[in-house]
Amino acid sequence: MASLDDLKKRISSVKSTQKITKAMKMVAAAKLRRAQESAEKGRPYSDKMNNIILNLSGGISDIENAPKLLSGTGEDKIHLCVVMTSDRGLCGGFNTNIIKKAKLYFQKILDEGKTLKIITVGTKGYDQLKRVYGDNIIERISFKESKNVNYFDADKVGKTVIEKFENKEFDVCVIFYNQFKNVITQIPQEQQIIPLKTTDEETNSPDDNYEFEPEEDEILSNLLPKNISTQIFKAMLENSASEQGSRMSAMDNATRNAGEMVDKLTIEYNRSRQAAITKELIEIISGAESL
Amino acid sequence: MSEEYSLEIVNPEKSFLLKDDVTEVVVPAYEGEIGILKDHISIISFLKPGIIKVFSKSGEDSYYVNDGIIEFKNNNLSILTSLILNLKDIDKVKISEIQKSAEEELGNSEISDQERYLLDQKIEVLKSIN
């Protein structure tokens, strides 16, 4: 059995760990609220954007000449995967879940004999992917220095993607991120952004006659790159809310576990203290008796 | 007959402005300014850098926008923009910052004529504000 001193030291070290995790939980909770708020505030923009694009793409009659960003290159050989993770650890399964989802997709792509290219956003994703897919990673981006998620960061990622698309470096682009559902649940998502997959949920009525200025296809070709940035921005917002949520629940668990550990150690400590006292008493009594 | 319609301005970070007593909005569209009154035909257009003027029952407001898309449909005007500033409480420092970066970009020889045109516009508008 460990000595009393050792136990005491362990108890105090567990306690100070508990203090840290508790503080982290609190910080995550505050940040979560802010992240959630901005995720909600960002929604109208991406919804509106989506709506306009749907209205526009519905009106395009000439599929052949449609912008490449909408219709794709017509091939399906090179896949670009943008894996969005956090820059910091200690957030439970947050990063691992995204990576797992991404790896499944990577495997599928490679099994089909297609080429895989990866862009990692956030350092944690790079750390986890570099060993197996190090050769496939063509770029890594991190926004460690920006405090909050902002549109300009997302725009930077979007522009990189579009530039690579225009240089014909890939045919299909998929982004991976965690969708925030609630504090306990975050759902890893894969979303194809190039070519754009239009959901058929909102088919607009044919009598919507829009006046366009400038021409329809010019608007569309200007709008699509913006939409990519917007989608990435949305993913980043979801991601940051998920990260904080995940960290909060992870830290909550850690705090609870530390509490349990302290309880256990305290009992052990008291027992061995009791045992030491009893032993000493017995020694004294038996010493006195022998006199 | 009321001549009001509703206006929504959103930027990526948040819903910037929501008004339902607007009588006229003048936007710096790509091919010239457009004034939009009630029952305008449905329109989608791009904005170039410029000033949006909003006339409403409660008064008149002006905003600077960097770029944007407008959609008008069923007497709802939506303006999507990446950067919008209210001219009332504008920050001179910020304006000159934007202006400076635009000028720098203009110095870059690799940009297309279209971009050059937009940047020229931008600088002109910013100068007029300052």
Residues B22 and B60 in one domain: yes
CATH number at residue B71: 2.60.15.10
Please indicate, yes or no, whether residues B78 and B103 belong to a single structural domain of this protein.
Answer: no
Name the 3-class secondary structure at B108: coil
Q: What is residue B69's predicted lDDT score, i.e. its pLDDT?
A: 86
Which of B65, B70, B81, B82 is the mutation pick for testing A, counting most A CBs within 10 A? B82
Q: Which of residues 52-81 of A touch B (CB under 8 A)?
A: 52, 55-56
d(CA A156, CA A260): 46
Q: Tell if the CB–CB gap between B12 and A45 is shorter than 8 Å.
A: yes
* pLDDT in the model for residue A119: 92
Q: Are residues B34 and B64 part of one domain? A: yes
Q: Do B68 and B109 belong together in one domain?
A: no
Asked if residue A183 lies in contact with residue A32, where contact means CB atoms within 8 angstroms, the answer is: yes
Are residues B14 and A230, on separate chains, in Cβ contact within 8 Å? Answer: no
Q: Which residues of B are less than 8 Å from A233 in CB distance?
A: 12
B14/A41 touch (CB, cutoff 8 Å), yes or no: yes
Q: Same structural domain for residues B36 and B58?
A: yes
Q: How far from chain centre, in Å, is Cα A285?
A: 66
Asked if the C-beta of B88 comes within 8 angstroms of chain A's C-beta atoms, the answer is no
Tell me how close the Cα of A152 comes to any Cα of chain B, in angstroms: 9
B55 three-class SS: strand
Same domain, B21 and B74: yes
CB contact under 8 A, B12 and A44: no
Looking at the fold, whether B100 and B80 belong to one and the same domain comes out as no
Contact residues, chain B, for A211 at CB < 8 Å: 41-44
B47 to chain A: nearest residue by CA? A213
**In this structure, are B75 and B111 located in the same domain?**
no
B70 and B103: one domain? Answer: no
For residues B12 and B70, state if they share a domain: yes
Per-window interface: B 29-48 vs A, CB < 8 A = 29-31, 34, 41-46
- Sort out which chain B residues have CB atoms less than 8 A from A44's CB and list them: 8, 10, 15
Provide the pLDDT for residue A61. Answer: 60
For residue A155 the two structure tokens come to 């725009």
- A151 vs B12, B29, B42: nearest CB: B12
**The pLDDT of residue A60:** 65
Residues B52, B106, single domain; the answer is: no
Same domain, B106 and B80: no
**C-alpha to C-alpha distance for B64 and B46, rounded to whole angstroms:** 15
pLDDT in tens, chain A (291 residues): 578 899 999 999 999 999 999 999 999 999 999 888 888 888 888 888 887 777 777 666 666 666 777 777 778 889 999 999 998 888 888 999 999 999 999 999 999 989 999 999 989 989 989 998 888 899 888 888 777 788 888 888 888 998 898 888 888 999 999 988 888 888 998 988 888 776 554 454 444 567 777 777 777 777 888 888 888 888 898 899 999 999 999 999 999 999 999 999 999 999 999 999 999 999 999 999 988
Domain boundaries, position B114:
92-129
Could you give the number of structural domains in chain B?
2
Q: What are the tokens at A229?
A: 């940035």
A-B contacts (CB, under 8 Å): 75
Residue type, A184: I
Could A233 and B12 be called an inter-chain contact, meaning their C-beta atoms sit closer than 8 Å? Answer: yes
Q: Provide CATH code, domain A34-250.
A: 3.40.1380.10
> Nearest-CA neighbor of A235 among A132, A83, A71, A115?
A83
DSSP collapsed to 3 states, B70-89:
EEEECCEEEEECCCEEECCC
Do B8 and B77 contact (CB within 8 A), yes or no? yes
- Its pTM stands at 0.82
CA distance A213 to A222: 12
- Per-residue HEC secondary structure of chain A comes to CCCHHHHHHHHHHHHHHHHHHHHHHHHHHHHHHHHHHHHHHHHHHHHHHHHHHHHHHHHCCCCCCCCHHHHCCCCCCEEEEEEECCCCCCCCCHHHHHHHHHHHHHHHHHHCCCEEEEEEECHHHHHHHHHHHCCCEEEEECCCCCCCCCHHHHHHHHHHHHHHHHCCCCCEEEEEEEEECCCCCEEEEEEEEECCCCCCCCCCCCCCCCEEECCHHHHHHHHHHHHHHHHHHHHHHHHHHHHHHHHHHHHHHHHHHHHHHHHHHHHHHHHHHHHHHHHHHHHHHHHHHHC
A222 touching chain B per CB within 8 A: yes
Query: What pLDDT score was predicted for residue A252?
Result: 94
**Tokens matching residue A174:** 């998929």
| Contact call for residues A91 and A21 (beta carbons, < 8 A) | no
pLDDT digits over B57-84, tens only?
888 888 888 888 888 888 888 898 888 8
Pick from A37, A147, A211, A236 the residue to mutate for testing the B interface (most B CBs within 10 Å).
Answer: A211
Q: Which of B14, B47, B66 to mutate to test the interface with A (most CBs of A within 10 A)?
A: B14
Q: ω into residue A214 within 30 of 0, thus cis? A: yes
Partners of residue B18 on adjacent β-strands: B8
pLDDT for the residue B44 = 85
Under DSSP, the state recorded for B31 is: T
For residue A156, the distance in angstroms to the closest alpha carbon of chain B comes to: 13
Catalytic residues of A: 91
Q: What CA–CA distance (Å, rounded) separates A38 from A135?
A: 36
pLDDT top residue among A203 and B28: B28
* A208 lies within 8 A of chain B by CB: yes
Q: Is A225 on the interface with B (CB under 8 A)?
A: no
Note whether A151 contacts B: Cβ–Cβ < 8 A: yes
